[in-house]
Structure 1
């Protein structure tokens, strides 16, 4: 069952198909890794293990519970006791979800500049609704977001393109007039399959897999300050 979208999704259905910039959340707009890493280390402490250095856990932040528990506890979804550990991790994270989480420097200025350019923006994240929306509200992103799609808004999650296509439909945007920005290979895969332009951000939680330059994104940026110029190069119809 689909959940109700947060933000202005409903009103967007009658708007002209103007360009839309969609962002991943963790590692792209918000630096959530400190609180995610703390929740992962709590699972180690519960088992009498020493906490891992933050640097070991940070690259896994975009991979959610699965990636963090793999590094913190050496378990996967196939391991005995994984689901119990995952639920405990989510409970611990929800309890202290916004202790150290902040928007990356420059994000507020970027979003304000996009609005001044006549571009709407939204969020498509694999983070489930009960974790994503409190943070979106806490970081004062909800008021101006055209749409927010969470990991359980549709039956699918990235790299499936449906969350991105759902966001475009809800905001009244054609996929060809959208760009998706993210810090994970799955973000680029989802965006390309959805028929959107893609930007990979190297400042996020790109993990220990394929190098960012090899993901096949239309552009790669090293810093938030580079995003606006990268978006401008696409010259979507309807941009002011």
Structure 2
């Protein structure tokens, strides 16, 4: 039975895309670049903020454009109330169930650390995550296994006892690079190729199905 659940954040625990789209489109409009719809934005996800901004810019991606759009986006996003960023249905209940049954919990995300802690404190204050590993400019971001390795080292368990839970190709590659099992959720921002990836342990439609991988049920 698995002992450690490592969660991705955006698209796995939290539905965060609408606040991001709003702020990116405001930034793009300022510089006269085309804005994106939700469907156009989703393929841009994965990697760190530089990776995402470069995909959002598309054919307008240059070092200068990337820096100014990224800065303007962050100037909008960081101080915003982010009222559209909320946990997916039953996320808290499933985390509580895992915690009550002795499963260790952690987060590994390319979202900035301060932002992760802000949302965890607001919505998951009763959850005792062993470690929250977000993006830090001094450390490599996903799909590099740096964050996962730090989590596993702190917990002190065998990698066979860890399960990575994410929604995208980046998460699958992160788990592969770390040498741990991975499941993919369908309610996030992944695609059919992710759902059918031969390297995942499974693909789930509902939050409650996470419990099955820890020998639990609702």
TM-score of the superposed pair, with normalisation by structure 2: 0.85
**Structure 2 stretches of 5 or more lacking a match?**
none
Please say if residues 8 and 165 of structure 2, whose CA atoms lie closer than 8 Å, have aligned partners that are also in contact: yes
CA distance in 1, matches of 2:90, 2:104: 17
CA positional deviation for 1:90: 1.6
- Secondary structure of residue in 2 paired with 1:80: helix
Instruction: Kindly indicate whether residue 197 of structure 2 is the aligned counterpart of residue 214 of structure 1.
Output: yes
| 1:171 alignment partner in structure 2 | 155
The match for 2:64 is 80
- Cα shift at 1:117: 2.1
Matched pairs, number? 215
Measured after TM superposition, the shift of residue 58 of structure 1 is 4.0
> What is the CA–CA distance in structure 1 between the aligned matches of 2:125 and 2:175, rounded to whole Å?
22
| CA RMSD, Structure 1 to Structure 2 (Å) | 2.7
Does the CA-based 8 Å contact 1:37-1:68 persist in structure 2?
Answer: no
Give the counterpart of 1:223 among 193, 206, 209. 206
Residue 184 (structure 1) aligns with: 168
Aligned residue number for residue 13 of structure 1: none
Match of 1:5 in 2: none
User: In 2 relative to 1, CA 188–97 (structure 1 residues): closer, same or farther, beyond 3 Å?
Assistant: farther
Q: Provide the C-alpha distance between the structure 2 equivalents of 1:131 and 1:186, rounded to a whole number of angstroms.
A: 20
CA contact (8 A) 1:159 1:189 kept: yes
Relative to structure 1, the CA distance from residue 89 to residue 164 in structure 2 (aligned partners, 3 Å threshold; closer, same or farther) is: same
CA distance in structure 2 between the aligned counterparts of 1:215 and 1:203, rounded to whole angstroms: 19
User: Quick check: which one's strand share is greater?
Assistant: 2
* Secondary structure of the structure 2 residue equivalent to 1:126: strand
1:200 paired to 2:184: yes
- How big is the shift at 1:39? 1.0
| Alpha-carbon distance, 1:167 to partner | 0.9
| TM-score, normalising length: structure 1 | 0.78
